[in-house]
């Protein structure tokens, strides 16, 4: 958005408000859980959320966090390519509503996982 003098000061003001809110989230407002997805996402277009390990609730099921960051790491480049930031309550609701089938994976296939297409992240955000 711009005003009549062709400057983007109105957009800048909005951006500064959002930056401030994100800084509060990342700095101290609520707990954050960060999970990292390594390389498989590039081949499959999916990301995995752990809900159980060794027959016991874990991961998203037991998190005390308010926010869930899912980072997508590229080992070839040795860097994070991108990340999603979800409210935990929305992520849980989305999974409970849309994913009744799980798979096993992780170390020795001991973790029960929900596999979500990266393209569906927008649906989670609007749950």
> Model confidence over 49-85: pLDDT tens digits?
999 999 999 999 999 999 898 989 888 988 889 999 9
Q: How far apart are CA 37 and CA 42, in angstroms?
A: 10
Question: Do 32 and 65 meet the contact criterion of CB atoms below 8 Å apart?
Answer: yes
The pLDDT, as a whole number, for residue 31 is 84
Residue 74, token pair as written in the block: 């590229």
Q: How far apart are CA 119 and CA 115, in angstroms?
A: 12
Give residues with Cβ within 8 angstroms of 55, minimum separation 6: none
Give 19's pLDDT tier (boundaries 50, 70, 90).
low
Would you say the C-alpha torsion 11, 13, 16, 21 has a positive or negative sign? negative
Q: How far apart are CA 95 and CA 109, in angstroms?
A: 20
């Amino acid at each position: 958005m711009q005003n009549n003098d062709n400057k983007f000061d109105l957009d800048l003001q909005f951006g500064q408000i959002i930056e401030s809110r994100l800084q509060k989230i990342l700095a101290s407002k609520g707990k954050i859980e960060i999970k990292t997805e390594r390389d498989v996402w590039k081949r499959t277009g999916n990301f995995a959320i752990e809900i159980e390990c060794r027959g016991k609730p874990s991961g998203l099921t037991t998190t005390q966090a308010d926010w869930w960051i899912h980072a997508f790491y590229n080992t070839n480049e040795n860097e994070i390519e991108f990340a999603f930031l979800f409210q935990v309550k929305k992520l849980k609701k989305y999974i409970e509503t849309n994913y009744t089938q799980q798979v096993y994976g992780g170390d020795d296939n001991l973790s029960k996982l929900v596999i979500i297409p990266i393209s569906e992240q927008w649906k989670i955000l609007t749950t």
